Amino acid sequence: MKLIVATRKSILAQTQTDLVIDMIKKNSSIYSEKLLMETLGDKILDKTLDKIGGKGLFVKEIEMALLENKADVAVHSMKDVPYEVPSMFEIAVIPKREDVRDVFVSKDNTSFMDLRKGAKIGTSSRRRAAQLKLLRPDIEIVPIRGNVQTRIRKIKELNLSGTVLAAAGLKRLNMEYIITNYFKVEEMVPAIGQGALGLEIRKENKEVYEAIKHIEHLDTRICVEAERSFMTELKGDCHSTIGAHAILQGDLMYIIGIYEVNGRIIKKDIEGRAESFKELGKGLAKKILNV
């Protein structure tokens, strides 16, 4: 059996897909081949995502490849997957998650809290920008978009003091050496599903599901689904300032989340039985809205 695996053309997307292909192959004799695609989100880099339609711009073309039987599986970063997955598809498998934290990459190795007053930080993420301003109200946010390599290059080009990236991507690219400091989850709440990958297939494609199901990581699945439940309840997208992170502690789940309500960033947490993970996500959303 051969699987055609669709992904974006960026180096990170391809690296992540290679990791998935290796995982599938490790416990089976299944050969996989990449189908590289350029999405609208990759093409339009001079506008923020909320100006051009949202995070779904990174997955729509790839989903078309599934629909037209050009691909069997699509590999996404779960933080790019909108809360509504079209009814003909499903996120069939979520492998074990990487580091969920955001990191600061400095121009001259100065840590974030030690930057000079008024330092310019590059990010196009509303979530990151809002939380950076809470930590350092004096900094200036400069919108930058593009893949990891592009954003690192723009630090020098735009004379920025640094940028904020996901630890997961840098670790997968073996680029940990450029990290100046890690933000704690409590001070920089991650994006929904950050650090997790999702394998999307046509719904009820039993043959493909059977070929990939062994790389599912149940604890990661439960945590990501809890975070996505929080996002769904709030109808969150890249027009929203939103983030959440769920962790399992035995039979219990703890979730921390942020959401912008009437111009204020509200941060709350919740704890409960892990088996009620979706209800916990919804409960946290209601807790934030009831402030």
Catalytic residues: 80
Q: CA torsion, points 169, 173, 175, 179, in degrees to nearest 10?
A: 0
- On the CB side of 88, CA atoms within 13 Å amount to 8
Cα separation, 247 vs 186, whole angstroms: 12
Q: Which residues contact 157 (CB under 8 A, 6 or more apart)?
A: none
H-helix or E-strand containing 266? strand 264-273
Q: Tell me the H-state helices in 54-205.
A: 60-67, 126-135, 148-157, 167-172
Structure tokens at 111: 């840590």
Question: For the sheet containing 197-202, what is the strand order?
Answer: 31-37, 2-8, 73-77, 197-202, 89-93
Q: Give the three-class secondary structure for 254.
A: strand
H-helix or E-strand containing 73? strand 73-77
